[in-house]
Chains A and B, each alone.
Chain A
Amino acid sequence: MISITGLGIICAIGNDAPAVLDSLRNGRSGVGAMKYLQSKHSYLPVGEVKLSNDEMKQMLGVETAAPVSRTSLMGAIAVRQALQQAGIGSVEGKRVALISGTTVGGMDVTERYFDQMKSDDSLLDLPQNNECGKSSREIAAMAGLGNAEVCTISTACSSALNSIILGSEMLKRDEVDIVVAGGSEALSMFHLNGFNTLMILDKERCRPFDDTRAGLNLGEGAAFVVLQKDAANSLAYVAGYGNRCDAFHQTASSDNGEGAFLAMSDALSMAGLKPEDIQYVNAHGTGTPNNDLSESQALKRVFGDSMPEVSSTKSFTGHTTSASGSIETVMCVLAMQNSFTPGNLGWKNQIDGGITPTMGTEGKALENIVCNSFGFGGNDSSLVISKSAPKDEAKADADCSFKVAAEVLITDAEELKGLKEFVSPMESRRMGKLMKAAYLSSLRALRDAGVETPDAIITATSRGMLEISEQFLEDIISNGEELLKPTLFMQSTHNTLSSAIAIRTKCHGYNITYSQGDESMDWAMRDAERLIRTGKAKAVLVGCFDESTPTFSSFVERAGKEAPAPLYAKSVVLCRC
């Protein structure tokens, strides 16, 4: 069984677990006027961590004057808290993994210095902030985990929950002794403007599950949990989990919440629990018209007449995007330990066809809680947290072996003309170079392997959708945060590729994206092998996709290093044999 032995959290309603608990119980929201984020759209309410970067550096004893991303600073603060509560001092001789979820990574630094980097050679360390994996390494270093295995998961807003899932899997298979899993995400001008182009930011405080809801408020923060197997000092247990793909749309959920339904069903099934065994659901509940209705449908499909208390805590914190899964997991454990449910702040009006959220209950015994976390690309994850030790999963590894059934590599942009064989010009109208290459190599590999719909899709990318993201950032700077293209932002997350392939192949299975520099593909292959060896999948599509742009390559070359390849797309189909 997987024990949670330590909690670390920093978000808009508190800089540690006791402060967060106090705000939750007293209905104090942390969403308000913008103070630290620099944006023209300062009328938008946000859930900021109430500390400056310098204050966070001071807390951590970090003395550098160089810019450090808030993502790294908040992450290190939360990891330190979690390790302290778990009573983990020295990790000498232990196998430790730090698994962090982030998508924005060090974008707060990149966007501030992007123009200067083009001419100022003293800033040439900064382009590395482009890589999500860099912030996770910084977190490890600042939190005293310099020797740990470090891994970054980047599946947009479900990233942190997927980190907890990966950590649990690694512990179950004895790959590590101690896991610190969660996520961190700073507010950035980049994604504030991005969500703004999608017209899903509320100008008032968000009202999840309310009929008058008009969108989300963005927030920031970090949270991590320490996970250990069979620990004596358990705060709660990870009893079950599921990750599924809605395979419907890059930025919208399906009407019947298929992905969410499947994720919750998997999590309950792994925990060996029935719907009536759950006392509380911490919903994804962003406050957008689309999410809350779709999630309501999924909840009704799972729980039927035995609907537990449900609330979204995003009205307290704002939507902390990639960190939300672990921030809300920590809140669930706090609720469980203190026997209360957090209220759904701001709710007044029932949605026709929607669930009725709880306004909070004190003195509520919580044995089992479901925590939902959904991301762009329909990346839907659910976790079951239990107060008592769950019955151990009786089954050991099925120990199936596997083979590479097909492998396709594309590095020449000329080859992308071949995409016409698979998609119409209308379908490919928004695709950039990397998306075309990922699509083409994957569809060819699946065809060669004779697989129509894989059981799982796992991708690896160091820099993600670089060309499109760079264009969006250039537009933000040159247009002064106006007239930006939603088409660019909707494709900017690292899991855009795995989601697009899932939509195309109608794959509702496990869907994960690793972003840990040059190690990304190793993590992806390791996960694919794990899925096949444990009998969870028969055919897994694994992709390693990266691109460079002239601007990014010039940064790297000016720093005296070799520029990355302009295009690299390798798709592998692994099959059980």
Chain B
Amino acid sequence: MDELIYALKEQIIDALNLEEMTPDEIENDAPLFGNGLGLDSIDALELIVLLEKHYGIKLASPAEGKSIFKSVSTIAEYVEKNRKK
């Protein structure tokens, strides 16, 4: 799981162009949206692309992403259960 979490953080930094951040600066359970990292609706769409690209997971709508994208931990849990690759 730790490996997956670290990989996810690297993929998020790359997909969202968070150039000045390192994986260690993103806390596992900190909120990604709103007051946490401060991501927005376009970032959520990028995370949907990320899931498909790296894990073969296809979400049907942005609404499905809401509960999944709460934090890096919640993404990791979802990926663990649903990954196709």
Contact = CB atoms under 8 A, between A and B. Distances in A.
Interface in B24-60: 38, 40-42, 45-46, 48-49, 52-53
A274 to B, nearest CB: 37
B61 A486 contact: no
Contacts of B22: none
B67 interface: no
Contacts of B46: 485-487
A483 B53 contact: yes
A429 interface: yes
Nearest to A490: B42
A27 to B, nearest CB: 29
Given A197-B49, A199-B61, A484-B49, A251 B18 contact: no
A425 interface: yes
A428 to B, nearest CB: 9
B19 interface: yes
A449 interface: no
Interface in A187-235: 197-199, 214
A197 B50 CA distance: 12
Contacts, number: 40
B49 A483 contact: yes
Contacts of B61: 199, 214
19 contacts: A197-B45, A197-B49, A199-B45, A199-B61, A199-B62, A249-B40, A250-B42, A251-B42, A252-B41, A425-B20, A483-B52, A484-B49, A485-B15, A485-B46, A486-B49, A487-B16, A487-B17, A487-B46, A490-B42
By secondary structure, the B interface counts as helix
A403 interface: no
A213 to B, nearest CB: 12
Given A199-B61, A251-B42, A252-B41, A429 B49 contact: no
A426 interface: yes
A429 B49 CA distance: 18
A430 interface: yes
A500 to B, nearest CB: 13
A486 B46 CA distance: 7
Contacts of B49: 197, 483-486
Nearest to A215: B61
Interface string A391-433: 0000000000000000000000000000000000110011000
A490 B15 CA distance: 15
A140 to B, nearest CB: 37
Contacts of A426: 18, 38
A421 to B, nearest CB: 16
A72 B48 CA distance: 36
B20 A199 contact: no
A429 B42 contact: no
A350 to B, nearest CB: 20
Given A197-B49, A250-B42, 7 more contacts: A214-B61, A249-B40, A429-B16, A430-B42, A486-B42, A487-B17, A487-B42
B42 to A, nearest CB: 6
B45 A430 contact: no
